[in-house]
Homo-oligomer: A and B are copies of this chain.
Amino acid sequence: MRRSTSSKGAENPIDAVGARISFAHNEVIFQAGQPSEHIYKVEVGCIRAYSKLRGNRRVDLAFYFPGDYFGFETRDKHSISAEAVVSTTLLAISAMTLLARSATDVAVARYMLDITSRELTRAQKYRLLLHRSADERVAQFLLAMKKRCCRNEIELIMPRRDIGDHLNLSIESVSRSLTRLHNSNAITLEKWRYVTVNFDRLSILKSNFPASAVSS
């Protein structure tokens, strides 16, 4: 972990308080049970938030990309863990400072509510995803990735293992779904970690979801 000078540009009520920290590939940001002293904003890279189940199994609850906030808890301890998927730079914002400010500044309180609310929407959306077939889960995941990078060529920055732990599929099933989607021309698997999506074809699967769950 490497610290550097604090952020200066404040486009919103909370970032100004933050300090920049860098993490290496697979480095732990925090673990479930540890005191929740900061909330984080991704500047560059990718974070996985997960819970551990018995037998080394893991559930990847979410991936966070530049601009996303994570690690916010109302309790004093983290309920989940977080790791850097790749080399990542974060903005770490003191939870105590934030709490103090939110007590007087309504804009800050509102901002915290928005972050939590967005997280809830995301959690509900992925919950719906788990009620669908392997191919639909992978397709929806790719669409979500596409939405973030805004290009049809997606870099699957995380390994198959992570995708599987996120979608509740074995790595083999993820791989098979990808090849099936490739064979049906819904995607093109360029070179392993690079996927080009055919939005219209993938969206056939997407249409099985309620409109409200497709956003973000």
**Judging by beta carbons under 8 Å apart, are A51 and B102 in contact?**
no
Nearest CB in chain B: distance from A134 CB, A: 14
Contact across chains for B128 and A51 when beta carbons are under 8 A apart = yes
Complex Cα distance, B102 from A110, in Å, reads: 9
A53: interface (CB < 8 Å): yes
Write out the residue numbers on chain B whose beta carbons fall within 8 Å of the beta carbon of A109: 102, 106, 109-110, 113
- Copy tally for this chain in the complex stands at 2
Which of B53, B59, B103, B132 meets A106, CB within 8 Å? Answer: B103
> Of A21-29, A143-151, A178-186, A206-214, which binds chain B?
A206-214
A101 to chain B, nearest CB (A): 11
In the complex, whether A120 has a CB less than 8 A from a CB of chain B is yes
A107 to chain B, nearest CB (A): 10
Contact B131 A57 (CB under 8 A): yes
Per-residue interface assignment for chain A, residues 123 to 139, with 1 indicating a CB less than 8 Å from any chain B CB and 0 otherwise = 11011101110000000
